A = this chain, B = another copy of it.
């Protein structure tokens, strides 16, 4: 035998580098050379860790999904009531701070890549539906008196609102800053009380 490597750690570091490059230079700037430079290695090492560029992309996409999922879990667990849990999950999914706005830019990059790549498109759709399901359960817990159709409609609406806030915060963080995002979400959640 000879020297052994920590494959999982390499994958994590390379995915993080992918993410970083994607946030900084956008989708056109995402090259294997740029990722390697950011990770402090060479393209040879990158392609020994991942079979090809798409495998790297897919892994980075899954990393992003796990990251957002864990943050959502934490926000959900820290809340006192179902309604507050819903509010917390939605708010952290939007992009209030610069750190999350970076994530949002990465998200947009993957979204654009998914338009031309069926594999990434499947992942994106899958993750989105999982988020809708999570929100639906939170809505159901917060407002159990709602019927199933109303619950589903409310959930897709809330997810769409969060998605839009993310997207808009990417290009116009001045108009769509933390304050604007909070009041948008608060208004949507307030409507949950008065609507029926």
* Residue ID in chain B nearest A188 by CB atoms: B157
What is the predominant secondary structure among interface residues of chain A facing chain B? helix
Docked-complex contact B160 and A128, CB < 8 angstroms:
no
- How many copies of the shown chain assemble into the complex? 2
A167 to B162, CA, bound (A): 11
* Residue ID in chain B nearest A22 by CB atoms: B115
Docked-complex contact A163 and B168, CB < 8 angstroms:
yes
Stretch at the interface among A6-14, A24-32, A68-76: A24-32
* Residue ID in chain B nearest A190 by CB atoms: B195
* Residue ID in chain B nearest A152 by CB atoms: B180
Answer yes or no: A111 CB below 8 A from chain B CBs.
Answer: yes
A168-B160, A171-B121 given; A153·B183 CB < 8 A: yes
Answer yes or no: A16 CB below 8 A from chain B CBs.
Answer: no
A residues 121-168 in Cβ contact with B at 8 Å: 121, 124-125, 128-129, 132, 153-154, 156-157, 159-168
